[in-house]
Structure 1
Amino acid sequence: MTLTQLQIFSLVAELQGFTAAAARLRISQSAVSHAIRQLERELDVELLQRRQGRVELSDIGRQLLPRMRGMLGLAETVRQEAADARGMRQGTLRIGSFGPTSSMRLLPAILAHYRAQYPGIEIHIDEGPDRLVLQWLQDRRIDVGFVVLPEPRFDTCVLLEDQMVAVLPAHHALAERPAVTLAELCGDPFVLTEAGSAELVSHLFQAARLRPNIRYRCAQLLSTLEIVASGEAVTLVAEMALPKVPYPAGYVSRPLSPPVKRRVGLAVLSESEATPAARAFLQLAARLQREGRLGV
């Protein structure tokens, strides 16, 4: 069993295909198939099941995948610790990001300083809903991820705090109010965005024993704002997720009453086991936060 075989298996599982994995690795599809066959032969189990052009994990493959990714992560840590002794001239950092707050307000500022200090580190960025970033961390698909805090499962650091705001059509009756309650948002169709605060929004309504009239679910914030601006629904999002200049026109935001705060930070599965590249990213982000250079 080699690290190359584990890497190929992990990528095939992630991309759900031999062709896609071969393209990503820039090797032939036959080489990918050969590596998987050799790994399955050595372990004497079927790791992947081929079904109508798709590749799915078998039960044992699903069980072993996190362990294999852990082995790959440990190997990367060894390589990076050796590189760290040489000034971290090379290595890989895999980052998970969600929504406009992390992808547009936090990540660019951190990356600008990080690349200046560690130009040899290759950076991979995956973007998805906040709950998916948490799953990527758990599965060791990424080294560090932006998350909505608190998250007791991981080692974390806080980067910014903002507030949740109601977003309403510009001519909505509640738009004249200085603040809006959760109960008042239950009187209209509601659009739930998965662009960074879906879990928090759902928890807020559940804790208040309220049920919003969810008519729409959107993966992207701009789609959510389009629906609100058209007068079709109301929503609840984090203030810093909103564009600095309202786009599209036709919506307004109002704070909640009572106010609800949201904290965003970085998380790693375990800081003591994180790669040097991930620890450096975490430490740099924390320093920039202390200096007030994030989230503006």
Structure 2
Amino acid sequence: MTFTQLDIFILVADLGGFTAAAQRLGISQSAVSHAIKSLEKELGVELVVRQQGAVELTDVGQRMLARTREITGLTDAMRQEAAAARGMNSGVVRIGSFGPTASLRLLPAILKAFHARYPGIEVQIDEGTDDEVRQWLLERRVDAGFIVLPNESFDTVPLAEDQLLALVPRTHRLAQRQFIAPTDLAGEGFIMSEACCGPLVEPEFARHGVPLHIRYRMSQVLTILGLVGAGDGVSVMPELALPMDLARSHPDVVVIPFRPAIRRRVGLGLRNLARASPAARAFVDIARKAARSLEERKAA
């Protein structure tokens, strides 16, 4: 068993096929297939099954994938520790991002500062829904991920705080209101954002006894804004997830705060901060400083 075989196994699982893994690695498909067959032969179990050109993991393959991620994560951390001891900054840090709050507001400043301090460390960004980022953390697919706080499943590092805002069409009956309550949206066709606030919205409305009549679920903010502006439903989004030029770019969408305000906290989640790789701990440190700087500029 080699680390190369394990890396190929992870890539085949993540990309769903031998061809895609081969293209990513810049090697032949037969080389990928050989690596998987050799790993299966050594372990004495079938890890993958071909399904009409794609690949699915067997039950034991799913269990082995979790173990493989643990092994490769530990080896990455060992290499980074050794590199740090030699006075070198190298390695890879994998980050899960759940939407525009992270990808548009926080990540650019964090990545700029991180690259300036650690130019030799590669940052891989995987973007997905709230649930996907949490699952990636559990599977060790990412070293750290942006999540809504609090979250007791992970070690967490708070970064930013904002509030949830209601989004309604300009022609809506509530459009002239200065503030609203969750009960005001009872019975409305709802467009649920799957990236950046899902874990907060549904429990909050349930707490007020308001059932959500969800018409659509999606993760693209611009699509949500387009549907709201067209009168196809209402939504709730975090302040930091909205475009800064919203009034100009989407004049048919009206934003209304809740009273009392529904606050949201965003941070980084890690399975174990103390045992994280040097690159992951460095990313967390830079993220703290970058987020603090953004807050200071916002308050100025």
So what's the TM-score if we normalise by structure 2? 0.95
Residue identity matched to 1:259: A
Where 2:190 maps in the other structure, the secondary structure is: strand
Residue identity matched to 2:117: Q
Judging changes above 3 Å, is the alpha-carbon distance between structure 1 residues 239 and 295 closer, same or farther for their aligned structure 2 residues?
Answer: farther
Q: How far apart, in 2, do the equivalents of 1:185 and 1:37 lie?
A: 56
- Give the structure 1 partner of residue 52 of structure 2: 52
- Give the structure 2 partner of residue 282 of structure 1: 284
Deviation (angstroms), 1:291: 4.2
Q: How far apart, in 1, do the equivalents of 2:80 and 2:106 lie?
A: 25
- Deviation string 1:103-158 (CA, Å, 9 cap, x unpaired) is 01000001101000111111111111121111111111111111111111111111
Residue identity matched to 1:237: M
Judging changes above 3 Å, is the alpha-carbon distance between structure 1 residues 198 and 295 closer, same or farther for their aligned structure 2 residues?
Answer: farther
Pairing 1:14-29 to 2, within 5 Å after superposition: 14-29=14-29
- Give the structure 2 partner of residue 265 of structure 1: 267
Judging changes above 3 Å, is the alpha-carbon distance between structure 1 residues 294 and 140 closer, same or farther for their aligned structure 2 residues?
Answer: farther
Contact 1:288 1:294 in 2 (8 A): no
Q: How far apart, in 1, do the equivalents of 2:218 and 2:76 lie?
A: 36
Judging changes above 3 Å, is the alpha-carbon distance between structure 1 residues 211 and 97 closer, same or farther for their aligned structure 2 residues?
Answer: same
Q: How far apart, in 2, do the equivalents of 1:209 and 1:163 lie?
A: 20
Q: How far apart, in 1, do the equivalents of 2:119 and 2:83 lie?
A: 13
Deviation (angstroms), 1:293: 5.1
Judging changes above 3 Å, is the alpha-carbon distance between structure 1 residues 293 and 239 closer, same or farther for their aligned structure 2 residues?
Answer: closer
Where 1:49 maps in the other structure, the secondary structure is: strand
Q: How many residues are aligned here?
A: 296
Deviation (angstroms), 1:288: 2.9
1:252 to 2:254 alignment: yes
Q: How far apart, in 2, do the equivalents of 1:202 and 1:289 lie?
A: 27
Pairing 1:104-253 to 2, within 5 Å after superposition: 104-246=104-246, 247-253=249-255
Q: How far apart, in 2, do the equivalents of 1:52 and 1:209 lie?
A: 47
Residue identity matched to 1:287: K
Q: How far apart, in 2, do the equivalents of 1:217 and 1:238 lie?
A: 16
Residue identity matched to 2:112: A
Contact 2:106 2:291 in 1 (8 A): no
Contact 2:110 2:291 in 1 (8 A): no
Contact 2:97 2:146 in 1 (8 A): yes
- Deviation string 1:56-106 (CA, Å, 9 cap, x unpaired) is 010001111111100000000000001111334211111111111100100
Judging changes above 3 Å, is the alpha-carbon distance between structure 1 residues 210 and 197 closer, same or farther for their aligned structure 2 residues?
Answer: same
Q: How far apart, in 2, do the equivalents of 1:164 and 1:97 lie?
A: 19
Per mean C-alpha deviation after superposition, the further-off stretch among 47-56 and 202-211 is 202-211
Pairing 1:5-84 to 2, within 5 Å after superposition: 5-84=5-84
* Identity between Structure 1 and Structure 2 (%): 51
Judging changes above 3 Å, is the alpha-carbon distance between structure 1 residues 165 and 43 closer, same or farther for their aligned structure 2 residues?
Answer: same
Contact 2:110 2:287 in 1 (8 A): yes
Structure 1 alignment gaps of length 5 or more: none
Q: How far apart, in 2, do the equivalents of 1:61 and 1:173 lie?
A: 54
Deviation (angstroms), 1:223: 0.6
Q: How far apart, in 2, do the equivalents of 1:67 and 1:237 lie?
A: 37
Deviation (angstroms), 1:292: 4.6
Judging changes above 3 Å, is the alpha-carbon distance between structure 1 residues 200 and 293 closer, same or farther for their aligned structure 2 residues?
Answer: closer
Contact 1:105 1:294 in 2 (8 A): no
Contact 2:99 2:219 in 1 (8 A): no
Contact 1:227 1:233 in 2 (8 A): yes
- Deviation string 1:249-282 (CA, Å, 9 cap, x unpaired) is 2011111122110000111111122110000010
Per mean C-alpha deviation after superposition, the further-off stretch among 84-93 and 27-36 is 84-93
Contact 1:160 1:295 in 2 (8 A): no
Q: How far apart, in 1, do the equivalents of 2:74 and 2:14 lie?
A: 19
RMSD: 1.4
Deviation (angstroms), 1:190: 1.1
